[in-house]
């Protein structure tokens, strides 16, 4: 059976081809038990395929994958008993109530009729769906559906949870609710593999991020290390164009990067060199010290686009995707501002 010392999820050299498309080209992945791993990549990178391999839905062409110590091909049934899956779409039955959705899943998990009902009630209450429990799912909002879909994967409290783009297409509040739930599960010891197109999401939730592109991992590490390796963008907008030169000197000194001066916009921009992090208060102090009056100071954390630019020199955006690419670019990292 599963043993706690070995990683909860292991993939080694996994390849999977669909006709002419090679969705996975030797993906390696290790997720220690009790941690959250963020699989980060653009549309078409192979994230869903990786999750489907791990959830025993597709067999890899080559390579090995183990979940909770069980091989996904040879011991698929044991893997299935250890996992919960919330896929890219809200996989809930719209024609019945939320409560019935969970009860039916509980019965399929062989909890017994009574225990299945109790478990459904527990989950609905805990995740704020008690009031909507007896409404048909087709009357739910998008956020509620996603939440129901998420808790549908928790019916057995599985030790390993797969979440495929759990917040794509959600409004900020629903996104926050999903994030809170994932954090709560992780705190309880559940191993979570979540895929996302948002660096911010992986940053908030994951202990480790694996950046995937074209079916292989191109970078792995804790979010901070990854971000530090990329650098962030610092920009200062001035009231007085006469101070542009002085500002450029300060920024270059602080970041080690080459300052770009935009005279028309009265803005100085610089990308920090990897390893240097610039904190907003320190920046404001330095500018003050140089007598610069800034109208706007911003430190922008790297976005997924920056990650890809930095890791691949800009040629790495997925070619297999069909949509939603603008989305990832739109959700830039946290922006700090001071006036």
Partner 1 sequence: MATVVLAAPRPSTVGRLVADTWTSMLRVLLNYRHSPGLLAASLGVPVVMVVVFGYVFGSAMRVPGGGDYREFLMPGLFAMVATNGVMPTMVGAARDVGRGVTDRLRSMPVSRTGLLLGQTLADLLVSVVVLALLALVGLAAGWRARHGLADTAGAFALLLLFRFVMTWAGTLLGLAVGKEEAAGQLSVAVFPLAMITNAYVPTGGMPGWLRLVADWNPISSVVQACRELFGNPSAPGSAWPMQHATLAALLWSAALLALCVPLAVRKFATHGR
Ligand X SMILES: Nc1ncnc2c1ncn2[C@@H]1O[C@H](COP(=O)(O)OP(=O)(O)O)[C@@H](O)[C@H]1O
Closest CA to 96 of 147, 37, 145, 39: 145
User: Residues binding ligand X: what is the number (CB under 6 A)?
Assistant: 14
DSSP string for residues in 20-59: TEEEEEEEEEEE-TT-EEEEE--TTSSHHHHHHHHTTSS-
Closest CA to 207 of 222, 192, 219: 222
User: Residues binding Mg ion: what is the number (CB under 5 A)?
Assistant: 2
Span near ligand X by CB under 6 A; candidates 14-22, 67-75, 132-140, 151-159: 14-22
Among residues 91, 130, 228, 329, the one that binds partner 1 under rule CB under 8 A: 91
CA atoms of 27 and 12, how far apart (whole Å): 6
Among residues 14, 29, 47, 166, the one that binds ligand X under rule CB under 6 A: 47
Q: Confirm or reject binding of residue 194 to partner 1 (CB under 8 A).
A: no
Span near ligand X by CB under 6 A; candidates 15-23, 64-72, 173-181, 305-313: 15-23
Residues 301 and 204: beta-carbon distance below 8 Å: no
Residues 42 and 81: beta-carbon distance below 8 Å: no
Q: Confirm or reject binding of residue 255 to Mg ion (CB under 5 A).
A: no
- Helix (H) / strand (E) element for 189: namely none
Residues 281-320 that bind ligand X (CB under 6 A): 320
Span near ligand X by CB under 6 A; candidates 18-26, 117-125, 262-270, 328-336: 18-26
Distances (CA, A) of 116 to 88, 95, 119, 147: 25, 19, 5, 18
Residues forming the site for ligand X (CB under 6 A): 18-19, 21, 23, 41, 43-49, 320-321
Residues forming the site for partner 1 (CB under 8 A): 52, 55-59, 77, 80-83, 85, 87-97, 100, 104-105, 107-112, 115, 119, 136, 152-153, 155-159, 184-185, 187-190
């Amino acid at each position: 059976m599963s043993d706690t010392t070995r990683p909860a999820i292991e993939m080694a050299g996994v390849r999977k081809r669909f006709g002419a498309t090679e969705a996975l080209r030797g993906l390696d992945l290790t997720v220690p038990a009790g941690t959250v791993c963020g699989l980060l990549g653009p549309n078409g990178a192979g994230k869903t395929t990786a999750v489907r391999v791990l959830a025993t839905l597709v067999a890899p062409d080559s390579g090995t994958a183990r979940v909770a110590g069980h091989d996904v091909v040879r011991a698929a049934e044991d893997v299935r008993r250890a996992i919960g899956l919330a896929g890219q779409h809200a996989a809930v039955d719209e024609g019945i109530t939320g409560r019935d959705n969970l009860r039916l899943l509980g019965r399929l998990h062989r909890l017994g009729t009574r225990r299945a009902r109790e478990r459904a009630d527990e989950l609905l209450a805990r995740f704020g769906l008690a009031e909507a429990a007896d409404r048909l799912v087709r009357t739910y909002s998008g956020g509620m559906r996603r939440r129901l879909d998420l808790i549908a994967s928790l019916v057995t409290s599985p030790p390993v949870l797969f979440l495929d783009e759990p917040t794509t297409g959600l409004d900020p509040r629903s996104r926050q609710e999903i994030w809170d739930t994932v954090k709560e599960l992780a705190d309880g010891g559940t191993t979570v593999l979540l895929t996302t197109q948002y660096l911010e999401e992986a940053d908030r939730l994951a202990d480790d991020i694996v950046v995937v592109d074209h079916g292989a991992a191109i970078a792995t590490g804790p979010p901070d290390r990854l971000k530090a390796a990329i650098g962030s963008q610092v920009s200062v907008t001035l009231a007085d164009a006469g101070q542009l030169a002085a500002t450029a000197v300060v920024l270059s000194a602080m970041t080690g990067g080459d300052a770009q001066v935009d005279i028309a916009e009265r803005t100085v921009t610089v990308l920090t060199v990897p390893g240097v992090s610039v904190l907003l208060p320190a920046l404001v102090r330095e500018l003050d010290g140089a007598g610069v009056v800034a109208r706007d100071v911003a430190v922008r954390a790297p976005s997924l686009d920056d990650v890809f630019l930095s890791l691949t020199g800009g040629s790495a955006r997925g070619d297999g995707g069909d949509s939603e690419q603008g989305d990832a670019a739109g959700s830039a990292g946290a922006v700090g501002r001071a006036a």
